Structure 1
């Protein structure tokens, strides 16, 4: 309180007739004051000059005359590099928004990022659970010591979050509209679709399946919503496009609706890093031959188990070796595709050597030439590359080469997706319920 009173009295004193600067201006004096006006004088005089414009010119003259004249420059020695100082550069910091503050203040399962009327609600935790890995673990670790890289990592993750959020709002919003318009599916339809998904995963071992604990009822709820949405849009498409229209769409670009021959395959592989000595080549030959012998036991029935045990690590998990469905346009090395094309379901290949660059484990992209090794383990490996053992699980012949039922369904699916992405957002604008969405 005392400090505030003192500051007020000083400000009042600077504006009073007792101020030397005030006396010089009102008396018409032009002598240079001994000292320049203090910051308090300048601030106080701003109000005075607004009321008395005739004093402005005299005040400016006093200010100019109080500035000392520039002295003659004297030559100085060139500073040494060690004497030069640079201003401190602060690391960029991400801007804080109400959304980011909310995300850091509350647990993610309590932060609601979107609502569709009173039917659907999405929390930040649920959004994170359905996100793919937007940024590699290695890049995120590296960004801890690099603030600029950290900003880029955050940008990529935020972009992935917003894309997933937009898709969720679009799908759930259209599903809510479909339900309100009377679209339903039976429990038999949901169970049949659920069983179909279970059969698709039947060939995969526990090591190949993503370890996510999802309850069966949660999966069936999501399946029911997806089937309702698909049924609703398909009814609209069917009214607008007859069989002749679908055939014309197919005829314009038939290659878009064909499915080339595919092979579901697994692999066991070993990367060859750098140059190997003769002893290392001999050791590698013996070890990988033992792996090949194990993979062919019992007609190859233990192949997936062996792959899960010996394949290289990807991050903190070991590669399962499941290549999925491989087609003509796969990124696998041509030599591996050539071997797969000649194999039958259940068959295990010989040891295959891919020379040159080591394979990209995540994408399967392998470059270089190869030479098939006989089953006695004779391997020539000195300059990098990789060793592979392949197994074919299932084959599918080409589909949709003519306008058959498969091609017809593919055309309908493309129209459903097109309708959802073009007409869907306009439907949401006129939805009979409230939609809230918080951009992240």
Structure 2
């Protein structure tokens, strides 16, 4: 949730983006004054963004072996402090027809506004700028953001199309220029990750990467794909431990994989308790990323807290926690779900109170299930000391190996699309209508079920 002032300024930007008029000298001067008023750090980030230095805006602590105290600050803190100023630059650049600067500002504020439920308006601005200035680069982060928004709103076909296109075309998007092959691989990798979430929702777990014969041993434990996924999620948590939202996003994935594996026939009975305890730890870490009374800023964040609370309750049930305690925690989770439904459909002015009720109920679950603060000797980190035991874990990853996986995806993608196209109405005219690996279509119906 953002302030009404921020919402009003975004509306001003949207109205300005709908117009395509020549700018006046006064408007260009106003743009220059706004841009030049940015602090040195933001001005540097804006310049790097315009030069396409990175496909995703990096945090200071990312890609570093040794992280200093200064590196533990997050871009969200900078955006939060200077958001109104950045949006003023966005508006001024749109009015002055400075599309490069405008899209670069959108790039910088995108992640922050995504976690405040404002991506929809920001992406509308992005699309309008792209329509009026098609030769101006749009960052891959924004393209993937559109896929995430489609995913969150249930438009899985559109999301999967965007992601498959990025994977299949080596991350190419418009006139964006990559400075290294590793950046291109990063965009493909993130696309694979988000696409896997879609396929998992649809029950296509075996297709979540490419074909079933892909070797996932680079993720660590090769004995079972759920354990590989759990290890990957844990590594993602440790490597992003200085941002609470990243931790909150990844620990439920680890916990869910461990919980699912504990129920599988492949899980040895003697190890089931151990995996349940690891799952409990993961869900608990997620619930501790927010202090009691701290504001939760978005629907997705609330949903993730709900998921962690409910999953922790289920885990406690199978760990033998007294049924009366589990019943009370379950009841609280059910109330959270009802409030979350109301929150999702509420007007902006009513969301704060509903959010408060949800966080109080989640706090009740934490109290019932004895989710206590953990030992953490590293300031700025959101994970316990005992959780950082991945130093000896090596990832057998090379660009060559990743490229091999992507080639398999492209081959698999093409094969599946060819198969579905043969049964697609309209294909007889030579028009390829099935556009994704799930056999989804645009403007037609397909006779093949993926």
TM range (shorter): under 0.3
TM-score (norm 1): 0.22
Q: Where is the helix percentage greater, Structure 1 or Structure 2?
A: 2
Structure whose alpha-carbon radius of gyration is higher = 1
Looking at both structures, which has the greater relative contact order when contacts are Cα pairs under 8 Å and sequence separation is at least 6? 1
TM-score (norm 2): 0.22
